[in-house]
Amino acid sequence: MLLLLNTGSHSCQRHACVSAVQIVMETEPEHNELFLDADFPAADSSIFCDYATPLSKLLDDVAWLRPHEICNQPQLFPDDPVEAHPKQGILGDCWLLCACSMLLKNQHLLNKVFPPGQPVWGNSAYCGTFLFRFWRSGQWTMVRVDDRLPCLCDKLCFSQCQSPKAFWVALLEKAYAKLHGSYEHLWAGQVCEAMVDLTGSLSVRWCLKSQPSSSEMSVSKLSAEMKERCAISCCIHSTPIGVPELGQFHAMSVMEWTDVTTTAGEQVQLIRIRNPWGRRSWAGVWKESGSGWSSLLPSCARGLLDRMAEGEFWMDLSEFQQEFDEVTVGFPISEEGHVQSIYTGNCLAHSHQIGGRWIKGHSAGGCRNNSTFGSNPKFWLRVCERGEVLLSLLQYKQSKLPAGGSTEKNLHLQAIALHGWKVDKKHFNLAQTLNKPPFLSQTHAYDREVHIATHLSPGCYLLVPSAFQQGSEGNFLLRVNSSCSISLSAMKSAPPALQLSSGGEWETSTTHGCWTVGSTAGGSRNYGTHSINPRVPFTVTCDPGGNNVRVSLHQHRPETDLYAIGFHIYKVPDGGPGSLLNLGAMVPVVTCVPHAHSEEVSVFCHLFPGEYIVVPSTYQPELCANFSLTVVRRIYR
């Protein structure tokens, strides 16, 4: 079960926590049977995707056990908070575990991801299922799993808590694996992506091997407050000198920064690091028995050493910058859901987001080197007063990342960038504007999300997101967080033209409809009410080869309040009326998903002659809106 929740306000977030518990209670299996997740079964299909990682050695050896079958009196969280930290198993997902450690610093975020009050082992309401929420593509997605966990020799083989009786980490890891398709899909990833998925906030990566300019931000320039509030992770890209047991690509968590004064009066900045492997793997001067401690007063040294938990060690800033290649910093987020700037500490209380698509031949114009750059999607940002503004462009992955830890980022991500121009709309000329150097700009990067942090004066700005390569298709989300009042909207553009060819003419038909609460607002196929959505029939008669049908869905909503929309096309069996089809037992022949926060979505496809129905929907049920569905078919004359 994957459910999409709109939890934008603080009250909605609290309501969603209650709803999560209600879902568990209301879906309790009959006859006291424990829940079995048919969508993510206790089978090899949930562990493996292509057997390209060392996990392939586990084939046929894994047993799936529930926590009460692994130990006596299991808990979600241990009594000692230190023992709640994650410990990595044989799955290469240290990047996810660093983000999990961050949740333990913020009870509000932890409750958001793992709604409290769910029945656990020993509770009469326990039914073997747990709910989690992850931020995906601009919305919070709820994932339900059973509590059967992969084990070897009756012990968890993947991630767990430091306490062997605590299971929140193992359950969260399972839900995240379900979201991605399998455990093996979690092998090798980016800490910054996991941070965003667990918070809905933003994150940045800074290289430690290049010297930043005086104007560039770096981890050493973070304020003391930001070092305390931010989630910070450090990453190794190659085998380090001081940590010889570590191979390439390993991530750790920064737990604490502190300044100390040596007996000689020298100021030293010390950093406490946590290795998700659960062991102290540092051989520098600040290792537990290192020479660095003798330079401090005994009471100071003892106090710092006593703060080390299992798997933690201290190092100074120079060692940190030498041993690690990169740091990832997650922006703090308040209980009200507001992002806090890591640059100034300002609360960015105003936020807007809007989705878009790069469509080949229409809006996939590529970078500014191409003459087609102006065809890219364009957006208006209006700034009402001077303030700090954080712009971000997030692309949806084209397909699942191949397992095996490949570093070929272009296998699943495009190089993307965001450019902006300040304009006078009364005298606006698009071609002249785009020929000028942008006011805001960045280099295209193979990242899931790229950012521009700046201060803007009042006025109107043109924003153009682009992929580097012309013709590269994809969906994206444009987000703006600011300390000042803003508005964000899409610039109107003409619909994509059909690629006409010989073998027939084209006929267009448009149907106007609405999603009505309690009647025809059934939501996506993830909901049991999907079948009550409107159904639009059409017939395909001409098939000269190649694409012969374009279906476009347009929602009539304010540009600043668009729903996530999409549609499915079903083939009507010969002789059967489309209005009586049982959609729950059918597989669509064409889909326009994932649902996108766009004014219009479309598909150009090939369909064999026959009868079809289109089922348009919002992602979340019980949303009211009007829509237009246009079907363009190739026909014989």
- Residue numbers annotated as active site: 94, 250, 275
Q: Rounded distance, CA 629 to CA 131, Å?
A: 35
- Residue 68: count of CB within 10 angstroms of its CB: 16
Q: Could you give the angle at which helices 94-103 and 168-180 cross, rounded to 10 degrees? A: 130
> 170 Cβ partners below 8 Å, 6+ apart?
149, 156, 158, 159, 160, 161
Residue 106, both tokens: 């913020």
CA 190 – CA 184 distance, rounded (Å): 15
Q: In this structure, how many other beta carbons lie within 10 angstroms of the beta carbon of residue 448?
A: 20
> 232 with 226: CB under 8 angstroms?
no
Cβ–Cβ under 8 Å, residues 110 and 13? no
Report residue 294 CA to chain centroid gap: 45
The angle at the Cα of 155, spanning 84 to 249, to the nearest 5 degrees, equals 65
Cis peptide leading into 594, omega within 30 of 0? yes
Question: How far is 259 from 227, CA to CA, in rounded Å?
Answer: 12
Quick one: 308 exposed, middle or buried, by C-beta within 10 A (0-12, 13-18, 19+)? middle
Name the 3-class secondary structure at 183. Answer: coil
Q: How far apart are CA 150 and CA 170, in angstroms?
A: 9
- What are the structure tokens assigned to 422, written together? 């300040």
Polymer length in residues for the chain: 637
Question: Which is it for the CA torsion 154, 157, 161, 163, positive or negative?
Answer: positive
Quick count: other Cβ atoms within 10 Å of Cβ 571?
Answer: 19
Contact 112, 191 (CB under 8 A): no
- Tokens linked to 437: 């150097």
**In a 3-state reduction of DSSP, which class is residue 155?**
strand
Q: How far, CA to CA in Å, does 204 sit from each of 93, 131, 159, 395, 451?
A: 19, 28, 25, 15, 8
DSSP annotation of 360 reads T
